[in-house]
Amino acid sequence: MTDDADGRALAERLRAERDERRRLAELIHDGPVQLVAALAQMLDAAHCALEAGDVASGVPIVERALAVAREASADLREIVSGIEPNALRELGLAAAIRELADRLATRRGVTFQLDVAAGDELGDGAQSGLYQIVRDALDQAVRRGPPTTVTISLGHSDGGIELRITDDGGQERREAVMAALAERAAELNATFASETTPAGTTVTLRLPPSAATL
Amino acid sequence: MAETPEITVLLADDHEVVREGLRLALLRSPSIRVVGEASDGETAVALAERRRPDVIIMDLRMPGMDGIEATEEIIRLTPDAKVLIFTAYSERALLQRGLESGARGYILKEAPHETLLRAIEKVAAGETFVDPALMSALTKARDGSDVLTAREREILQLLADGMSNADVAAQLFISQETVKSHVRHILTKLEADTRTQAVAIALRDAMID
């Protein structure tokens, strides 16, 4: 590799790391931080009511506060498992994608069609890199769509591996998110293409044989 | 007992659950009435102009027009509007920008009930209020060292908690003149640093009484 290519690869990696930190900060700020702040306000309200002997007002507020506490807990768990899911470490990429799809199916009512068994043949680095790409692509699809059906396939192609994510959400995707996905793909030495039509979006990544063992 | 005058408030926050918590908390106070809710900056500006609430409780980060821009716009349209920033951010830079945008107060979303009520009352009365929890962060120099002595910090905290000079004097067993002298020193030190002007503004009230 030339010095120039080295420099570009480093810049890409630093940018990807920065984007990941920003993504996490945003997730935590938008979810659990707001929920816990609201929870404190609710408990303040319940405390005021109960202190004044107004049990009839206090109890429903406590019940609502409990629901918010549980939502914050579920949110945090989702963020933690999104950072580095146990399934990815212990069972591999296919299991981690299945788990992610299950969660989105339950929480957002999306139907998934998966053909991802080939993911387990990849090296650890490639598995972890592809997982982040799948997670971010799905996150964007759900935010903009949400789609009713998503298809994820991992198949062999010219000795390498091809990842294809297709959804039927007709909304335009955020350019910055798609650019970040392309950057992550470049980090893995993969080619990246995405296409959005009114019928949905398809994201395609091709990992060369050399990258598949990373 | 004198009737407490009613304070009308507008809530602007893009998180529904935060508005719900705030609504529930404010419902316990008979003197405060919520007259509107906005989930983005544009709506906050429109509602502030139409309903003329006494206090606008404003989140910083919202989609589209954010809380800083909305505050600037509200102040431009109605210069005597009183905005209280209500945020999960405790960074000094944001506090500074918030107060520079024309807001009168800045409190954290997890502020205790008493702090929330005091902030609303102070801001409604045209005074400045900065969350006491933010005071210590504000008195740090750029290198992280504290610009104030331990005694000065103690006095600043008591004043930020709402005590008068006389209260502070009584609490610390010192004369009111000594308290005033400490406050003068604090002001001099903080105003030397423009980033902490927010505290200085808040402290001027303490100098006057």
The verdict on A72 touching B (C-beta cutoff 8 Å) is no
- Measured CA to CA in angstroms, residue A79 lies from A23, A56, A110, A199, B109 at distances of 10, 36, 19, 30, 22
Number of domains in chain B: 2
Domain final position from A83, A108, A141: A83
Which chain B residues are within 8 Å of A30, Cβ to Cβ?
Answer: 15
Q: CB B31: neighbour CB atoms within 10 A?
A: 14
- Pair of tokens at residue B60: 């910083």
pTM: 0.72
Which residue among A29, A30, A42 sits closest to B21, beta carbon to beta carbon? A42
In this structure, are strands B7-12 and B105-108 parallel, antiparallel, or unpaired? unpaired
Do residue B18 and residue A49 have CB atoms under 8 angstroms apart? no
Q: Does residue B2 lie within any of the structural domains?
A: no
* Dihedral sign of CA atoms B118, B119, B123, B127 in order: positive
- Pair of tokens at residue B4: 């407490």
The verdict on B64 touching A (C-beta cutoff 8 Å) is no
Domain final position from B83, B108, B131: B131
Q: Does residue B118 lie within any of the structural domains?
A: yes
Cα separation, A34 vs A46, in Å, equals 18
Which range marks the domain in which residue A195 is found? 91-212
Identity of residue B45: V
Domain final position from A25, A48, A83: A83
CATH number at residue B204: 1.10.10.10
Q: Which of A24, A17, A32, A44 is nearest to A71 (CA)?
A: A32
- Pair of tokens at residue B148: 């104030």
Residue A2 has a pLDDT of: 63
A50 and A121 belong to one structural domain: no
B16 and B119 belong to one structural domain: yes
CATH number at residue B27: 3.40.50.2300
Do residue A48 and residue B20 have CB atoms under 8 angstroms apart? no
Which residue among A30, A33, A48 sits closest to B28, beta carbon to beta carbon? A48
B124 and B147 belong to one structural domain: no
Cα separation, A212 vs A189, in Å, equals 9
B21 and B90 belong to one structural domain: yes
Q: Does residue B1 lie within any of the structural domains?
A: no
What is the distance in angstroms between the Cα of B20 and the nearest Cα belonging to chain A?
7
DSSP secondary structure letter of residue A92? -
Is residue B102 within 8 Å of residue B126, measured between CB atoms? no
ipTM of the complex: 0.75
Cα separation, B80 vs B63, in Å, equals 26
Which chain A residues are within 8 Å of B109, Cβ to Cβ?
Answer: 33-34, 37-38, 40-41
A144 and A63 belong to one structural domain: no
CATH number at residue A163: 3.30.565.10
> Model confidence over B131-140: pLDDT tens digits?
888 876 666 6
Do residue B21 and residue A38 have CB atoms under 8 angstroms apart? yes
Which residue among B21, B61, B88 sits closest to A41, beta carbon to beta carbon? B21
Do residue B17 and residue A40 have CB atoms under 8 angstroms apart? no
Cis peptide before A146 (omega within 30 of 0): yes
Q: Does residue B179 lie within any of the structural domains?
A: yes
Residue A17 has a pLDDT of: 79
B118 and B197 belong to one structural domain: no
CA B31 to chain centre: 19
Q: How many helices (H) and strands (E) does chain A have?
A: 8, 5
Is residue A211 within 8 Å of residue A37, measured between CB atoms? no
Which range marks the domain in which residue B170 is found? 139-208
Range B14-28 average pLDDT: 95
A57 and A119 belong to one structural domain: no
- Per-residue pLDDT of chain A in tens (214 residues, 90 and over written 9): 567 777 777 777 787 778 788 888 888 998 999 999 999 999 999 999 999 999 999 999 999 999 999 999 988 988 887 777 888 888 899 999 998 899 888 878 899 999 999 988 888 888 988 998 999 899 888 877 678 999 999 998 877 899 999 998 877 777 778 888 898 898 888 999 998 888 888 999 999 887 767 7
Instruction: For residue A12, give the 3-state DSSP assignment.
Output: helix
For the ranges B15-19, B38-42, B185-189, the lowest mean pLDDT is seen at B185-189
B20 and B110 belong to one structural domain: yes
**Residue B103 main-chain phi, psi, to 5 deg:** -70, 150
B106 and B156 belong to one structural domain: no
For the ranges B40-44, B76-80, B155-159, the lowest mean pLDDT is seen at B155-159
Number of domains in chain A: 2
